[in-house]
Amino acid sequence: MKTDTPTAGTGQHCAEVRRGRPRSEAAEQAIFGAVEDLMAGGTALSELTIEGIAAAAGVGKATIYRRWPNKEALLVDVVSRLEEPLPEPTGAGARADLIALVDHVRRRGLAKRTRWVLKAALGQMQTLPELYTAYRDRVIKPRREVGLGLIRRAVAEGVIRDDLDLELLNDLLMGPILYRSILWDDSDLEDPDLARKLVDSMLEGLAPR
Amino acid sequence: MKTDTPTAGTGQHCAEVRRGRPRSEAAEQAIFGAVEDLMAGGTALSELTIEGIAAAAGVGKATIYRRWPNKEALLVDVVSRLEEPLPEPTGAGARADLIALVDHVRRRGLAKRTRWVLKAALGQMQTLPELYTAYRDRVIKPRREVGLGLIRRAVAEGVIRDDLDLELLNDLLMGPILYRSILWDDSDLEDPDLARKLVDSMLEGLAPR
């Protein structure tokens, strides 16, 4: 098993390259892929073992323990990396940025694998409370902060009224698309105009004018 | 074990009473309670066995098999019964009925046990696809139909505009409260005025008028 041997011959100074980088990107990818496959295939988090993951990834247990102290730490990384970076500001104002954020969630929900793994993780986090806490702190909270920052800017730009609670606004804007993408399997997410429709319907209001 | 003996001395005609009724309400309650406890305690659906459920409920395995052909059928009933009946029309118009429906979901989300069990079921249904199908047909679809019927009435009453897709309207109205109640644990659901705020903000729109 050579996957942990640092790649030779790159000509770079290893001290710089090694810091914060996996010794072997390939081994790490194989481990992440194995856990995702196991979760997407229906293995409960509580049934996952370092041994089983190592076997599925085709690496030794030591390769896993060299990077993660325990199963929980590995699972946090697996679930975190399924979250793609949030979209950058479009430069076209708060309404366009809100649509871009909702569309980001829509596209994430379209990826069946992501959906299954997140659903499995969400449903089983009660068996691993540390995983839930880490996921909340590393994934949920930062995403919520980005959403709230965007909403604050939309209020400042006069796109959103200033008399509503920010948390409520966040749930109003993010709730429908998260509901459609995470909760049920058969929801339609394919309409590329869905995010715009959602945001505009919400901004304009559902009551007739 | 006497829990399956039909209760004597009620003075009613048994033929009538027995049809569609459990032989022993107490045994059934014990079985439901045991499964809910096991799920809320973190046992994965795939790890549940009829044997384990019988032991936790203090009944014999035969008592379970007399009512349910297999584990999936029992689990469908466990998850279905956590859904309380949807609210009846208030008689005060479509806006009031929409608020009542959203408030129903809010109150359901407040019950920590319900939330955990539903989350566990949702996350693990991929391991039991028949359970997912049954849950979708018995719980999700009927609830969605009630929601859509209410929205149709709101459109007919002029409370909601008539130029939006009904499914989109359903997700806009139900998404935020379901997001807040099922998805995350730390969301605030205690405000008794939350449902009204949600519905009114949505009807009025988030953009300044």
B156–chain A nearest CA distance, Å: 12
Instruction: Give the lowest-confidence range in A12-16, A145-149, A194-198.
Output: A12-16
Q: Is residue A78 in a domain?
A: no
DSSP 8-state assignment for residue B102? H
Q: Which residue stretches of chain A are H helix? A: 14-18, 25-40, 50-57, 61-67, 71-81, 94-110, 112-124, 129-135, 141-156, 166-178, 194-204
* B127, HSE (Cβ side, Cα atoms, 13 Å): 25
Are residues B60 and B137 part of one domain? no
Are residues B64 and B109 part of one domain? no
Q: Is residue A8 in a domain?
A: no
Q: Is residue A146 in a domain?
A: yes
B120–chain A nearest CA distance, Å: 4
Q: What is the CATH number of the domain that holds B44?
A: 1.10.10.60
pLDDT for B162 = 94
Ordered mean pLDDT values, 10 residues apiece, chain B (209 residues): 40 40 77 90 82 96 94 87 83 94 87 73 71 79 88 95 92 89 70 94 93
With beta carbons under 8 A apart, name residues in chain B contacting A173. Answer: 206
With beta carbons under 8 A apart, name residues in chain A contacting B120. Answer: 123-124, 126
The stretch A173-194 carries a mean pLDDT of: 81
CA–CA gap between residue B205 and residue A199 (Å, rounded): 10
Whole-number mean pLDDT of chain A? Answer: 82
CA–CA gap between residue B96 and residue B168 (Å, rounded): 20
Are residues A172 and A112 part of one domain? yes
Q: Is residue A142 in a domain?
A: yes
Are residues A115 and A200 part of one domain? yes
Are residues B130 and B52 part of one domain? no
B179–chain A nearest CA distance, Å: 5
Q: Is residue B128 in a domain?
A: yes
Are residues B184 and B108 part of one domain? yes
CA–CA gap between residue A125 and residue B122 (Å, rounded): 12
Using CB atoms, which residue from A119, A179, A187 is nearest to B122?
A119
Are residues A129 and A40 part of one domain? no
Quote the number of domains for chain A.
2
Find the helix packing angle between B25-40 and B112-124, rounded to 10°. Answer: 70
Report yes or no: A64 and A31 within 8 Å, Cβ to Cβ.
yes
Burial of A152-178, coded b for 16+ CB within 10 Å and e otherwise, reads: ebbbeeebbbeebeeebbbbbbbbbbb
Are residues B187 and B153 part of one domain? yes
Q: What is the CATH number of the domain that holds B168?
A: 1.10.357.10
Give percent helix, percent strand, percent coil of chain B, each to the nearest 5: 65, 0, 35
Domain of B34? 14-69
Are residues A57 and A142 part of one domain? no
Tokens of B182: 């099922």
Are residues A151 and A55 part of one domain? no
Using CB atoms, which residue from A44, A132, A180 is nearest to B124?
A44
Tokens of B56: 């936790």
With beta carbons under 8 A apart, name residues in chain B contacting A45. Answer: 44
